[in-house]
Structure 1
Amino acid sequence: MDVFQAMDELEANRLASVYVLYGSEIGLVDLFCDRVKHIGGFTSIARFDFEEDGFEQARLELDTLSFFSEKALVHVRNCVALTSQGKSGSDAEALEAYFENPAPGRVLVLSTVADKLDERKRITKAAKRHVVVQCTTPKEPEALRRLKRFANERGMNITEEAIHELWRRVGSMTHCMNEMEKLSVYALDRRIERADVEQLVARSVEDSVFDWIDCVAQGQIAAALTSLQGLARQGYDPLALMALLARQIRMMGLAKTHGDGRETLDQLAKRASVHPFAMRVAAKQAQRFALRDLEMLTRRIADSEYDVKRGRRDPQQALETILMQAALAASTRSSPRVQ
């Protein structure tokens, strides 16, 4: 099950003895542990690292009876024994044995940053008899809903527009939650607005590249040149940008030639091995171009790449020339065609 379903079920059911969490969203792992701590009435979380500490210290914590409290919540990070990278050994054997006979009144949370568990392993099969939770990046509607809840639980006063902008810029629950904590400190007692996010949260390179390509496709020469200068300051390689622009132009050409009802945009996206949203954007951009312009621009980019790689042209200058040719072709259908 996913981490949000697991957290919802924590409030409805008794705590399990063992939880196995995997995925790239480290922040969601910490959020899950905090929720277990709150619901179970634990006073603290004992934390260990499987790669550095093995399982012996965690096992000792789970088996030791406290004079002050019989409850123990233990979190073991980097549990690579459950992945294809992990090797067998005494720690893995001890963990597998614990899966068979977990300590009563204790809760063990294991986590690993991995896309999947190695289900061929005996230890993983033993782990799957307990609660296995996937901590991956959710889709936008679920992410926005959970970020609002995260803000409410921590008493953060933040607008929906600010949360939307934050997600658009970051696209990761872990990073969003970290940035929300920083924004809360920055805003003090006032409400966090979208302008705060725009001022404090850096845009990703991918976001900047998308905006740059969109400016080119919209025929906005000045905006495209300004965006290109920003990407240059970030150290983006002109040849890499040229390749991205060529890819977008090919997608526009595909949408132009096959978007006549014979195939849906989703079918085109599948054939081109791209996300359906990317193909829908390309189809919209293609409306500003004649097909012969797209074909000519594709050839021009290929020629420019060839010249740059052989030292005949400056990469930045070649990219700016292509940019202006593409933007000019998009700016008006009545303008002179690219020669």
Structure 2
Amino acid sequence: MRGAVNVSYFDMMKHIKREELSGLYLLYGSESFMVSDTLQKLTGSALSEEEIEFNLSQFDMKDTPVELAIEEAYTFPFMGSKRVVILKEAYFFTGMKVTAKAEHDLKKLEAYIQNPAPETVFIAVVPSEKLDERKKITKLFKKHGRVMEGKPFEEKELFSWLDEKAKEQNVTIDREAKGQLLMLTASNLMLISSELRKMAIYTGEGNTITKEVVDELVARSLEQNIFSLVDGVVKQNLDGAWRIFDDLLKQKEEPIKILSLLARQFRILYQVKQLSEQGYSQKQMASQLKLHPYAVKLAAGQAQRFEDRHLLTILDQLAETDFKIKTGQLDKKLAVELFLAKQKQPAY
């Protein structure tokens, strides 16, 4: 193909729907769902179910020399018009130091990138958030191939993606339901996709997924229960916070673990508040704190309700509670209960 084409996940989905497949693809990034979903859709677009058995070849680059994959790529398709060759764990596009069984002749890969087999869809899957831009094979692939980085969606993109996934299931999802689903799944795309399929079956074709449906069907993870517990403290809904704590105990969650996650969430609130005061955007905060942008947005909303000194007081209380549990001064359940009781009045 002519010239470098670096595309987003959305652009890649449009490209696949047009069924105008290229010969070279490189997929990498921190959002593994985007990478695996793109790989699946590329394969499904190139090959029918019957053709997959004969014309799909996958090679693990930790175990297999790349020359074997290239040899396969130059093999004419059997009973079909396309062949798909997938390089898994293609670490040689990065600066990673990997102990691998296989040695690779990357000169042959460089040659293939410049002269790919016209009948073959050649896909390199790179297990990394970054490529090594200095390497010749990376430069060549970016020049001749189509490169997609799987990275977390911005909020607007996330909501658009939810609409698309709902449409695939022949349902719609309202805005309140989207927000609740994102909170309960911690914006985990793999989990969201699975939960959407379940809710679509429950709701029925042509209907709308509401917040009530999300609350009824989507299980709360420990982390999301902690978020709701913190939200109860933030909004002074302490009865709600107590109920969540009791529910977690009934689920056999350890009080010390609950305390640890509470401390983590309040630290995030403090960090988000500090970065916000320093002029950081939510996108910059997400990168700095290694959090999903939507999680930063929710944390920013909670943090606005606190003065800095109040958050610091809460963090001190959590540290003191942890110390008293670990030194045997307080029973672990009672210690967390006392911490929650202290939140009835602002501590500043």
TM-score normalized by structure 2? 0.73
Query: 2:79 corresponds to which residue?
Result: 68
Q: Which residue of 2 aligns with 1:183?
A: 199
5+ residue gaps, structure 1: 331-336
**Maintained 8 Å contact 2:29/2:130:** yes
Percent identical = 24
Letter of the 1:95 partner, please give it. Answer: L
Quick one: distance in 1 between partners of 2:141 and 2:23? 11
1:132 aligned partner: 147
- Cα shift readout 1:184-241 (whole Å, capped 9, x = no counterpart): 4455657363333323322233322121112123222221112123344344614414
Match 1:201 to one of 218, 226, 242: 218
AA aligned to 2:58 is F
| Alpha-carbon contact 1:76-1:109 (below 8 Å) kept | yes
User: What corresponds to 1:101 in structure 2?
Assistant: 115
SS at match of 2:304: helix
**Contact 2:234-2:305 within 8 A present in 1 as well:** no
Q: Per-residue CA shift, 1:50-80, capped at 9, x if unaligned?
A: 2455545543432221353332233333322
2:231 is aligned with 1:214: yes
Whether 1:159 and 2:173 are equivalent positions in the alignment is yes
Within a 5 Å distance, the mapping from 1:200-279 to structure 2 comes to 200-232=217-249, 233=251, 234-235=253-254, 237-241=257-261, 243-244=263-264, 247=267, 266=280, 275=296, 278-279=299-300
Matched residue SS, 2:117: coil
| 1:144 to 2:159 alignment | yes
Gap change, CA 1:284 and 1:313, over 3 Å in 2: same
Contact 2:171-2:207 at 8 Å conserved across structures: yes
Where does the alignment leave 5 or more consecutive residues of structure 2 unmatched? 1-6, 290-295
Over 3 Å counting, the alpha-carbon distance change for 1:285 and 1:92 in structure 2 is farther
Question: Alpha-carbon deviations, 1:10-56, whole Å to 9, x = none?
Answer: 56795322110002434323433454456657664515142455545
Tell me the TM-score normalised to structure 1 length.
0.75
Instruction: Say if 1:92 and 1:123, in contact at 8 Å, map to a contact too.
Output: no
3-state DSSP of counterpart to 1:90:
coil
Instruction: State the distance in 2 between where 1:42 and 1:91 align.
Output: 31
Number of aligned positions between the proteins: 318
Tell me by how many angstroms 1:244 deviates.
3.5
Map of 1:48 onto structure 2:
58
Contact 1:251 1:282 in 2 (8 A): no
CA distance in 2, matches of 1:4, 1:305: 45
The answer to whether structure 1 residue 304 and structure 2 residue 317 are counterparts is no
**Partner residue of 2:303 out of 282, 289, 310:** 282
What is the identity, as a one-letter code, of the residue corresponding to 1:243? A
Alignment of 1:114-133 (within 5 A): 114-129=128-143, 130-133=145-148
* Counterpart position of 1:31: 37
Greater Cα shift, 132-141 or 112-121: 112-121
Q: For 1:301 and 1:26, how far apart are their aligned partners in 2? A: 34
Report deviation, 1:133: 0.6
Amino acid at match of 1:247: R
**Structure 2 SS opposite 1:148:** helix
- Structure with the greater alpha carbon radius of gyration: 1
Task: Report the Cα distance in structure 1 between the residues aligned to 2:229 and 2:146, rounded to whole angstroms.
Answer: 45
- Evaluate the alpha carbon distance shift between residue 216 and residue 82 of structure 1 in structure 2; reply closer, same or farther with a 3 A threshold: same
Query: Given that residues 266 and 279 in structure 1 are in contact (C-alpha distance below 8 angstroms), is that contact kept between their aligned partners in structure 2?
Result: no
TM superposition shift of 1:173: 2.4
Contact 2:28–2:150 at 8 Å: present in 1 too? yes
Answer yes or no: is the 8 Å Cα contact 1:246–1:301 preserved in 2.
no
